[in-house]
Chains A and B, each alone.
Chain A
Amino acid sequence: MAGGLPHPLVIFRELNIALGADPAAAAGSALDPMIYPVPTHVWFTWLAMAILLIAGLMVRRKLTLVPGGLQNFFELVVGGLEDFVVANIGEKGRQFMPILVTIFLFVLTMNYLGLVPGCDAPTANINTNAAMAIFVFLYYNYVGIKTWKAGYIKHFLGPMPALAPLMLVLEIISHLARPLSLTLRLFGNIRGEEIVLVLLFVLAPLYSTLPMYFLFILAKSIQALIFFMLTMIYLKGAVEHAH
Chain B
Amino acid sequence: MAFFKGDRHREIIDQLSTAGTIGLHLVCSTFVGMAFGWYLDKWLGTKPWLLLVMLIFGIIAGFRNVIHEMQRIQQADKKLDQKINGTGHEDEKNDS
A residues with a Cβ closer than 8 A to B are 73, 76-77, 80, 84, 169-171, 173-174, 176-178, 180-181, 184-185, 221-222, 225-226, 229-230
- Which residues of B7-38 are within 8 A (CB) of A? 10, 13-14, 16-18, 20-21, 24-25, 27-29, 31-33, 36
Q: In the bound complex, how far is the Cα of B62 from the Cα of A93, in angstroms?
A: 27
By the criterion CB–CB under 8 Å, are A73 and B1 in contact? yes
Give the chain B neighbours of A173 by CB distance below 8 A. 29, 32-33, 36, 54, 57-58, 61
Q: In the bound complex, how far is the Cα of B24 from the Cα of A103, in angstroms?
A: 21
What 1/0 flags go to B57-69 for Cβ under 8 Å of A? Answer: 1101110110000
The chain B residue sitting closest to A229, CB to CB, is B17
Give the chain A neighbours of B24 by CB distance below 8 A. 181, 184-185
Q: A34 CB to closest chain B CB, in angstroms?
A: 30
Query: Please, could you name 5 A-B residue pairs with CB atoms under 8 Å apart, sorted by A?
Result: A170-B57, A170-B60, A174-B62, A181-B24, A221-B1
Q: In the bound complex, how far is the Cα of B54 from the Cα of A226, in angstroms?
A: 29
Q: B90 CB to closest chain A CB, in angstroms?
A: 24
B residues with a Cβ closer than 8 A to A are 1, 3-4, 10, 13-14, 16-18, 20-21, 24-25, 27-29, 31-33, 36, 54, 57-58, 60-62, 64-65
Give the chain A neighbours of B33 by CB distance below 8 A. 173
By the criterion CB–CB under 8 Å, are B32 and A185 in contact? no
Would A225 and B28 be within 8 Å (CB), given that A77-B4, A173-B36, A174-B61 are in contact? no
Give the chain A neighbours of B58 by CB distance below 8 A. 173
Give the chain A neighbours of B61 by CB distance below 8 A. 170-171, 173-174, 177
Would A225 and B32 be within 8 Å (CB), given that A173-B57, A174-B65 are in contact? no
By the criterion CB–CB under 8 Å, are A170 and B64 in contact? yes
Q: In the bound complex, how far is the Cα of B65 from the Cα of A222, in angstroms?
A: 21
Give the chain A neighbours of B3 by CB distance below 8 A. 221
By the criterion CB–CB under 8 Å, are B4 and A76 in contact? yes
Q: A221 CB to closest chain B CB, in angstroms?
A: 7
Q: B31 CB to closest chain A CB, in angstroms?
A: 7
Contact of A174 among B4, B13, B14, B64 (CB under 8 A): B64
Give the chain A neighbours of B28 by CB distance below 8 A. 177-178, 180-181, 184
By the criterion CB–CB under 8 Å, are A177 and B20 in contact? no
By the criterion CB–CB under 8 Å, are A222 and B21 in contact? no
By the criterion CB–CB under 8 Å, are B29 and A222 in contact? no
Would A84 and B32 be within 8 Å (CB), given that A173-B57, A174-B64, A230-B21 are in contact? no
By the criterion CB–CB under 8 Å, are A226 and B20 in contact? yes
Q: In the bound complex, how far is the Cα of B61 from the Cα of A241, in angstroms?
A: 21
By the criterion CB–CB under 8 Å, are B25 and A229 in contact? no
Q: In the bound complex, how far is the Cα of B64 from the Cα of A108, in angstroms?
A: 30
Give the chain B neighbours of A80 by CB distance below 8 A. 1, 4, 10
Q: B41 CB to closest chain A CB, in angstroms?
A: 15
The chain A residue sitting closest to B59, CB to CB, is A173
Q: In the bound complex, how far is the Cα of B6 from the Cα of A80, in angstroms?
A: 10
The chain A residue sitting closest to B31, CB to CB, is A180
Would A169 and B32 be within 8 Å (CB), given that A174-B64, A226-B20, A229-B17 are in contact? no
Give the chain A neighbours of B1 by CB distance below 8 A. 73, 76-77, 80, 221
